[in-house]
Amino acid sequence: MERTILGLAAAFAVSVVLFAILSRPADPLPDLDAATTHPDGEWFQKEVMDSEIPVIVDFGATWCGPCRILAPMVDRFEEEYEGQIKVVRIDTDEKPDLTAALGVGPIPAVFVVKNGEPVASKVGIQDFRRYEDFEAFVKPHLN
């Protein structure tokens, strides 16, 4: 009887954890218009909003361990899909005002922008355990 109760308790705990993971809200898309009124707005407009190909906007910092884990995935994707994707890296320490204007909080934060519109976003690396996870996140947004 005691084993049955422990088994049921363990199954319940697992189901609660799975529910918490699966029901996690999607990462919000940024308001890119806020960046165009920023002092770096002209640069952001040209590099991201007016790009003819989709853009990965990668927010990070040199001191950020998870950012250093994500960086090789972004580099590999950029290399494998050269000409189909552009990568713009924004160091949150070097451009704190632009980072704030875009509403970026925790890093790493990755946005995919296509035709001047954000189409996908992720904060953190929990969803990118392998390169293939990152590729599956970005690839559907290629032209």
Question: What is the distance between the alpha carbons of residues 42 and 131, in angstroms, rounded to a whole number?
Answer: 32
Specify if 10 maps to a domain: no
b vs e for 13-40, b when ≥16 Cβ sit within 10 Å of the residue's Cβ? eeeeeeeeeeeeeebeebebeebeebee
pLDDT class for 132, splitting at 50, 70, 90? very high
Is 18 considered catalytic here?
no
CATH number at residue 132: 3.40.30.10
Structural domain boundaries, residue 44: 27-141
Specify if 1 maps to a domain: no
Q: How many structural domains does the chain have? A: 1
Q: Which amino acid is at 99?
A: T
48, 57, 67, 107: the active-site residue:
67
64, 85, 102, 107: the active-site residue:
64
Express each pLDDT in 17-76 by its tens digit. 334 433 344 555 555 555 555 556 788 888 999 999 999 999 999 999 999 999 999 999
Specify if 9 maps to a domain: no
Specify if 96 maps to a domain: yes
Is 67 considered catalytic here?
yes
pTM: 0.75
Specify if 6 maps to a domain: no
Residue whose token pair is 């809200």:
25
Specify if 109 maps to a domain: yes
Specify if 92 maps to a domain: yes
Q: In the chain, pLDDT over 90 holds for what percent of residues?
A: 55
pLDDT class for 121, splitting at 50, 70, 90? very high
Specify if 59 maps to a domain: yes
